[in-house]
Amino acid sequence: MWGGRFSDKPAELMQAINVSIGFDKRLAAQDLAGSRAHAAMLRKAGVITSEDEAAIQGGLDAIAAEIEAGDFPFREEFEDIHMNVEARLRELIGPAAGRLHTARSRNDQVALDFRMWVRDACDRTIGQLRALQTALLSKAEAHADTLMPGFTHLQPAQPVTFGHHLMAYVEMFGRDAGRFADARARMNECPLGAAALAGSPFPIDREMTARALGFDRPTANSLDSVSDRDFALEALAAASLCGVHLSRLAEEIVVWTTPQFGFIRLSDAFTTGSSIMPQKKNPDAAELVRAKVGRLLGSFTQLTVVMKGLPLAYSKDMQEDKVPTFEAFDALELSLRAMAGMVADLEPVAPRMAQAAGAGFSTATDLADWLVRTLDMPFRDAHHVTGAAVKRAEQLGCDLADLPLAELQALSQGIGPDVYGVLTPQASAASRKSYGGTAPDQVRAQIKRWKEALA
């Protein structure tokens, strides 16, 4: 394509390091869409004739059909998806193909294609997050009353419900979806028409191509249009945070399936066995989701390092933007689907959860709150009395609910037998009626709110 300036072909090593068709052929759909919009605009602007545009559009349709059928001849000699399409177009329609590149550079072409691909990836990811939230909502609704221990420092803290615990992840993944939506809104400006870096002398209509390709507006600076990949970095940052949330839920699934916890069961569909230990049933799907965050963070870091020291405008370094982004979204989308499947599949072992909900003196805070409400005791004094009660129960080898009234009254004379009404895990969870609390009615209210939001 630059034979007028060069007399020799590139060296084999140059070709090997320079070629990108092996991975950027994933941009084929976006490249064809951009070319269709550009051709239509050139014809309307009077830059090319109607006959040339018709030939170009027909050739692009033929190429799309070849790609769809798996018959397109991807060739390394043409380096990338853009030149592969252009070369094939010339083979199909002749010299008219050469007019398509008028008022366009590969710089704004790849900036457009990649931006459209990342935009599509954000849309897909938001849809997959909604599917995961829906699975969590269904499971939470079925277990809005199912007791389990709430933890801090992985130590029993206060009783909660399983539905409440799952709804925490609904909130997290909701924020993740919001981050992808925010990133999508910021990237929804069309770089086509920026050309190599300075714009075009032809009477192009950038508003027309922006509208045709679903963008809100054209980018406002031709240098910036081809220079930055912050849209991909922002999407990768959102992907990394989403991966962190997926990893945390995966970790809990791994822990909960151990015999030591025994909180949930996974079916054979989401577990594997051992080659040597016949009793094993391993939560490998959760473990692999837990590990994927490393790939997501690595991709974000990789692209950040590529971009951090580049001068304006385009440098070939930026060819390295696609592989980490493709790999990250492949990993994220697989993880989201796997997690939605696991959430739908898992079943809580309610008796084991309920038993654990009362362990570790988890209703101690309820005793302190009762002392404040009933005896008008300052909370710090109530905290001290409750701590002493826990110590005494530990000495006697019993739970708080089983501590004799005389022992409690020895710590504070105003304590009456009605105190036992707050010392069960069920009563503890039911009492947390503040907005966003773990009381089953509150959990159901949040489920209803999210169902309406997702609908």
What pLDDT score was predicted for residue 18? Answer: 73
Residue 449: Cβ within 10 Å count? 12
Residue 152 phi, psi (nearest 5): -130, 140
pLDDT in tens, 286-322: 999 999 999 999 999 999 999 999 999 999 999 999 9
Average pLDDT over residues 2-18: 67
Close Cβ partners of 287 (under 8 Å, ≥ 6 residues apart): 250, 254
- Catalytic residue status for 153: yes
What pLDDT score was predicted for residue 279? Answer: 86
Residue type, 315: S
Q: Which DSSP helix (H) or strand (E) runs through 209? A: helix 206-212
Categorise residue 73: left if φ over 0, alpha if ψ from -120 to 50, beta otherwise: beta
Q: Which DSSP helix (H) or strand (E) runs through 139? A: helix 106-142
Nearest 5°: the CA angle 140, 331, 133 is 15
Widest distance between CA atoms in the chain: 101
d(CA 445, CA 176): 22
- Catalytic residue status for 274: yes
pLDDT in tens, 226-257: 999 999 999 999 999 999 999 999 999 999 99
Decide if pLDDT at 197 tops 70: yes
Residue tagged active-site, from 274, 335, 362, 428:
274
d(CA 231, CA 223): 15
321 DSSP β-pair partners = none
d(CA 29, CA 131): 25
Average pLDDT over residues 197-217: 97
What pLDDT score was predicted for residue 360? Answer: 81
Close Cβ partners of 413 (under 8 Å, ≥ 6 residues apart): none
Close Cβ partners of 151 (under 8 Å, ≥ 6 residues apart): 157
Residue 218 phi, psi (nearest 5): -80, 155
What pLDDT score was predicted for residue 21? Answer: 87
| C-alpha Rg value of the chain to the nearest Å | 30
What pLDDT score was predicted for residue 1? Answer: 58
pLDDT in tens, 71-125: 999 998 899 999 999 999 999 999 999 999 999 999 999 999 999 999 999 999 9
pLDDT in tens, 311-368: 999 999 999 999 999 999 999 999 999 999 999 999 999 999 999 998 888 889 999 9
Decide if pLDDT at 8 tops 90: no
Q: Report how far Cα 289 is from the mean position of its chain's Cα atoms.
A: 12
Q: Report how far apart, in Å, the C-alpha atoms of 213 and of each of 32, 48, 105, 344 are.
A: 11, 20, 17, 37
Residue 397 phi, psi (nearest 5): 70, 40
Q: How confident is the model at residue 4 (pLDDT cuts 50, 70, 90)?
A: low
Decide if pLDDT at 6 tops 70: no
Tokens 């963008």 correspond to 215
Q: How confident is the model at residue 275 (pLDDT cuts 50, 70, 90)?
A: confident
Close Cβ partners of 376 (under 8 Å, ≥ 6 residues apart): none
| Bridging pattern class, strands 347-348 and 147-152 | unpaired
Close Cβ partners of 258 (under 8 Å, ≥ 6 residues apart): none
The percent of the chain in helix, strand and coil, each rounded to the nearest 5, is 70, 5, 25
Residue tagged active-site, from 153, 222, 240, 412:
153
Whether 367 and 310 have beta carbons less than 8 Å apart is answered as no
- 3-state SS, residue 378: coil
| Bridging pattern class, strands 217-218 and 147-152 | unpaired
Decide if pLDDT at 2 tops 60: no
Close Cβ partners of 4 (under 8 Å, ≥ 6 residues apart): none
What pLDDT score was predicted for residue 176? Answer: 98
Q: Report how far apart, in Å, the C-alpha atoms of 427 and of each of 388, 439, 441 are.
A: 22, 9, 13
Nearest-CA neighbor of 164 among 454, 453, 434? 434
Average pLDDT over residues 150-155: 94
What pLDDT score was predicted for residue 125? Answer: 98
Concatenated DSSP letters of 253-320: HHHHTSTTT--EE--GGG-B--SS-TT--B-HHHHHHHHHHHHHHHHHHHHHHHHTTPPSS--GGGGG
d(CA 446, CA 115): 36
The burial of 277, by beta-carbon neighbours within 10 Å (0-12 exposed, 13-18 middle, 19 or more buried), is given as exposed
What pLDDT score was predicted for residue 386? Answer: 94
Decide if pLDDT at 7 tops 70: no
Average pLDDT over residues 145-156: 94
What pLDDT score was predicted for residue 5? Answer: 59
Average of per-residue pLDDT values in the chain:
94
